[in-house]
């Protein structure tokens, strides 16, 4: 097995995922924002086959986070764990609810996205353009909902008010990534002008290092 999978610093976070943004994008962004030391282990499909055979990854799903010899599974659970660890979760139960809604909504978008990114059936292959059209429609609908919520709250400095949170990380990295993959920036600008300004500002400030160093521009997912 490659030496990159061996890390003698047990106090350092390790993130296991493929060489793409996908389901690890929020986790990576959290690490970059918090300036936490972490080992971003990008593995190939062949690496993953070998790792699964070791029995170390009992759930056999990625991403996986390792910290102090303990493994953490499920992307949203990891995101929430880090949200509390780095104090970027909600300040109250209502804001935590809004954050959890955002995290869960990733699955709604990704479910459609994966149909044309990794078509598994002949039916998927025959309807690639239909899936892309459906995704753009879902994306526009999602952006319009977030735009209304953000605008109704008063278009504050951040999505939940005057403090930066996991909600801002989600909105910025997820909407940007899907926008880049399917050239949806016009949809984002038209359906969410205030949201677009918020995202642009965060990319230039709080998440500048992530988009310069951690965001995988050539990723197809």
Residue 7 predicted with pLDDT over 50 = no
Kindly list the distances between the CA atom of residue 124 and the CA atoms of 40, 109, 111, 114, 120, in Å, as whole numbers in the listed order: 32, 16, 12, 10, 6
The rounded distance, in Å, linking the Cα atoms of 192 and 54 is 46
Mean per-residue pLDDT for 187-204?
A: 97
Span 63-85, pLDDT tens digits:
999 999 999 999 999 999 999 99
pLDDT at 9: 55
Is the CATH code 3.40.50.970 the one for domain 93-214? no
Model confidence, pTM: 0.92
Residue 85 half-sphere exposure toward CB, CA atoms < 13 A: 15
Domain at 9-85: CATH code: 3.40.30.10
For residue 38, the cross-strand partners are 13
Span 104-134, pLDDT tens digits:
999 999 988 988 888 888 887 888 899 899 9
pLDDT at 114: 86
Mean per-residue pLDDT for 175-187?
A: 94
Give CA torsion, residues 158, 204, 42, 10, to 10 deg: -70
Residue ranges of the domains in the chain? Answer: 9-85, 93-214
Strands lying side by side in the sheet with 64-67: 38-43, 13-18, 64-67, 70-72
Residue 179 predicted with pLDDT over 60 = yes
For residue 220, the cross-strand partners are none
Mean per-residue pLDDT for 161-181?
A: 96
Residue 4 predicted with pLDDT over 60 = no
pLDDT at 180: 94
């Amino acid at each position: 097995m490659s030496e990159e999978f061996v890390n003698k610093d047990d106090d350092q976070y390790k993130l296991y995922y493929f060489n793409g943004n996908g389901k690890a994008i929020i986790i990576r962004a959290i690490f970059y924002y918090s300036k936490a030391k972490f080992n971003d282990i990008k593995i190939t499909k062949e690496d993953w086959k070998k790792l699964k055979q070791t029995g170390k990854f009992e759930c056999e799903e990625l991403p996986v986070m390792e910290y102090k010899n303990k493994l953490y599974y499920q992307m949203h659970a990891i995101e929430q764990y880090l949200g509390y660890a780095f104090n970027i979760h909600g300040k109250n139960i209502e804001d935590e609810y809004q954050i959890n809604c955002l995290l869960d909504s990733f699955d709604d978008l990704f479910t459609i996205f994966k149909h044309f990114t990794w078509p598994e059936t002949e039916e998927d292959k025959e309807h690639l353009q239909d899936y892309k059209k459906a995704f753009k429609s879902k994306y526009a609908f999602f952006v319009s909902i977030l735009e209304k919520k953000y605008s109704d709250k008063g278009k504050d400095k951040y999505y939940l008010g005057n403090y930066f949170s996991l909600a801002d990380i989600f909105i910025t990295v997820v909407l940007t990534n899907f926008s880049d993959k399917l050239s949806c920036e016009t949809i984002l600008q038209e359906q969410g002008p205030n949201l677009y300004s918020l995202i642009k500002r965060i990319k230039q400030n709080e998440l500048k290092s992530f988009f310069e160093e951690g965001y995988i521009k050539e990723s197809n997912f």
